[in-house]
Amino acid sequence: MLLATLLVAGYASIFHLWTGRSLRELPLYLVAAGMGFVLGHWVSQTLQWETLQVGQLSLLEGTLASLIALILVKVARS
């Protein structure tokens, strides 16, 4: 759980540094990255995909879903 939290915070922070305009967007990116990571991990566990895992944490699927969620939020706000 700690690793997932650190990854989500890192993804949101890097995305904000890359595309953000104001500091008010950062909490939105944190929530979007978190929800995306949880959704990606859940889908991976439900479908029993076992690619790039650390313990029971599905890194690849969580990371991809997090990135997709961040892009969707950015597009929706533009």
Q: What is the pLDDT of residues 47-76, one digit of tens each?
A: 998 888 888 899 999 999 999 999 999 999
Instruction: Answer whether residue 57 is part of any domain.
Output: yes
Instruction: Give me the number of domains the chain comprises.
Output: 1
| In a domain? residue 42 | yes
Residue 49: predicted pLDDT: 86
pTM (2 d.p.): 0.90
- Domain-embedded: residue 3: no
Quickly count: other Cβ atoms within 10 Å of residue 20's Cβ: 16
From residue 11, alpha-carbon distances to 18, 46, 48 in Å are 11, 24, 24
